Amino acid sequence: MKSLKIYIKPLSSFKTKFHSDTLFGQFCWMYGYLHGFNKLEERIKNINKDYFIAFSDGFINDLLPRPLIKPYSFEDGELKNAKEYKKTEFVNAEFLIENRKNLNDKSIFEFCRNSKIKKEEFSNTLNILKNSINRISGTASEGQLYNLEETYFNDGVNIAIYMKYNEDIVAKDELLNIINQMGTLGFGKDASTGKGRFKIDGGNSSITDEPEELKYFEGANAFMSLSHGIPATYKDECDCKLNYGKITTKFPKHGGFLSNAGYFKNPFIVYKPGSTFLINDSNRVKEIYGTVLNNLSRHGENHVQGTFLMPFFIKI
């Protein structure tokens, strides 16, 4: 498979986060509209064996998630910084690339203590109150307010997305064209009202083939996930095992022409980016780990959730 890193430029506010499974889902809908859904179903029929495409989450500028590895035992004079460090979500990608051959929590802590990253430098998130609508009467329900988050990115902020794709199925130019169309039509919630707009940032530096972040190196015995993913659990398919990680529960919805009725899928638990996994067999290193889920939709098993694990290889 080929690897690709792109920078996209936000053109509007966003109500949906750049999660890997959401990017995968919207890409598949676009692919189906362009090539027909029969062809799409062929591509995803055996997707756990014949990889089609996989995405990472979207990361601001040159940041990556903080790796969750064996915790550092803080000394007395460091306790003041320890609480703040545990809240740290992102680390400079260049630092992780330089230190991934001997990665430990102490070196990450020392780096983060000297280079603090504040979300306010890159984006602002507002809480928007909405009325709950009674679908029978078509009116607002009394006392049924709910909250939605809307993210506004600051000027000069780009979002980095990593991809691995099978060039025999989808060519690079076609892939980039679909990504641009996703940005034109809008990504995620309320795209019809102008939310979720983006474009691939101009210039040669906005597109990188075979980026360093996705390269394997000799001696790597683990990887950090760059995506929301689930490891394969069946004995004959299990390719990695959890080292340290964080989980979250997702409540996915259908997109495309299924977004109007019966659009809820079953909830599922997934590992967040930054979770680390040990490689089971160093002689059989894979380009993509994890598995997709195909039992979440009442519309059938041909509706899948792209819960691959995009690996950033490390040695711990």
pLDDT-derived band at 247, boundaries 50, 70, 90: very high
Residue type, 156: G
Spatial separation of the C-alpha atoms in residues 251 and 258, rounded to whole Å: 16
H or E, element range at 117 = none
CA–CA–CA angle 226, 230, 233 (5° rounding):
140
Spatial separation of the C-alpha atoms in residues 229 and 232, rounded to whole Å: 10
Beta strand spans in the chain (E): 2-10, 53-60, 63-65, 90-92, 123-133, 140-153, 159-165, 198-200, 207-209, 222-225, 240-244, 247-250, 268-271, 276-279, 289-290, 308-309, 311-314
Provide the pLDDT for residue 53: 93
Spatial separation of the C-alpha atoms in residues 163 and 117, rounded to whole Å: 25
Spatial separation of the C-alpha atoms in residues 184 and 53, rounded to whole Å: 21
* Residue 170 burial (CB count, 10 A): 19
Residue 97, Cβ density class (10 Å: 0-12 exposed, 13-18 middle, ≥19 buried): middle
Tell me the average pLDDT of the chain.
89
Tens of pLDDT, residue by residue over 283-313, are 889 999 998 888 777 766 678 889 999 999 9
Residue type, 117: I
194 three-state secondary structure: coil
Tell me if 304 sits within 8 A of 31, measured CB to CB.
no
Residue 236, Cβ density class (10 Å: 0-12 exposed, 13-18 middle, ≥19 buried): exposed
- pTM here? 0.91
Tens of pLDDT, residue by residue over 133-180, are 877 887 887 778 888 889 999 998 999 999 999 999 899 999 999 999
Tens of pLDDT, residue by residue over 54-68, are 999 999 988 999 999
What lies within 8 Å, CB to CB, of 234 at 6+ separation is: none
